[in-house]
Amino acid sequence: MRLIMLGAPGAGKGTQAARVAAQLSIPHISTGDIFRANLKNGTELGLKAKEYMDAGKLVPDELTCDLVADRLQQSDCGGGFILDGFPRTIPQAEALDKVLEKLGVSIDYAVDIDVPDEAIVNRMSGRRACVGCGATYHIAFNPPKVEGVCDKCGAKLILRDDDKPETVQTRLSVYHDQTQPLIDFYKKKDKLVQVDGTMPMDDVFAAILNVIGK
């Protein structure tokens, strides 16, 4: 099974991708993990990516695609994979198709976790992160035992800049401009399946397994 997870920031695609990957015994692949692994191992592609990251620039599509292509050729992807956070744009999706064609495989489904913007703003503005150990909480769905204090290490909990409503709105605007067109891209290929991401997490997980026939 070869899957792509789509969804706006805060839709829960990373959490669901990890659960689906574990259920299907396939690797959960995010571009962040690929970058970190290549940087850690000092690969040629990793060092190229580092130059852009150190300069505060986005890693170009071509280099990102090369890194993903390299990862998909590793032996653990032989039985399938789930891509999380890639592709983000139509050019990346087209490049991915070419890579998969060379490998003699194709995407089975692009799973879109659909959550309205208003729900995402509310969801993300309720997040709290520990300044000590990095543990995350939510004031409504996963509150700490003591308000503002981490259960694990006792350090202070904060609302990260990334989760502030105005920042979330900006991230959503970028998503709608760049990534939303992917929904039409995969719909035309008859690969798109959509799941209501406003349901409880376990229900979203069950719905994903249902639409991919697992």
Catalytic residue among 36, 152, 160, 189: 160
DSSP class per residue in 188-207: HTT-EEEEETTS-HHHHHHH
123 is catalytic: no
Catalytic residue among 88, 164, 187, 191: 88
DSSP class per residue in 100-157: HHHHT----EEEEEE--HHHHHHHHHTEEEETTT--EEETTTB--SBTTB-TTT-PBE
Cβ pair 113, 5 in contact under 8 A? yes
Catalytic residue among 13, 19, 71, 128: 13
88 is catalytic: yes
Instruction: Count other Cβ atoms within 10 Å, centred on residue 212.
Output: 16
Reading the block at residue 64, the tokens are 């990102």
Catalytic residue among 2, 19, 71, 127: 127
171 is catalytic: yes
50 is catalytic: no
Catalytic residue among 48, 50, 164, 171: 171
Q: Which residues contact 136 (CB under 8 A, 6 or more apart)?
A: 127, 128, 129, 130, 142
Catalytic site positions: 13, 88, 127, 160, 171
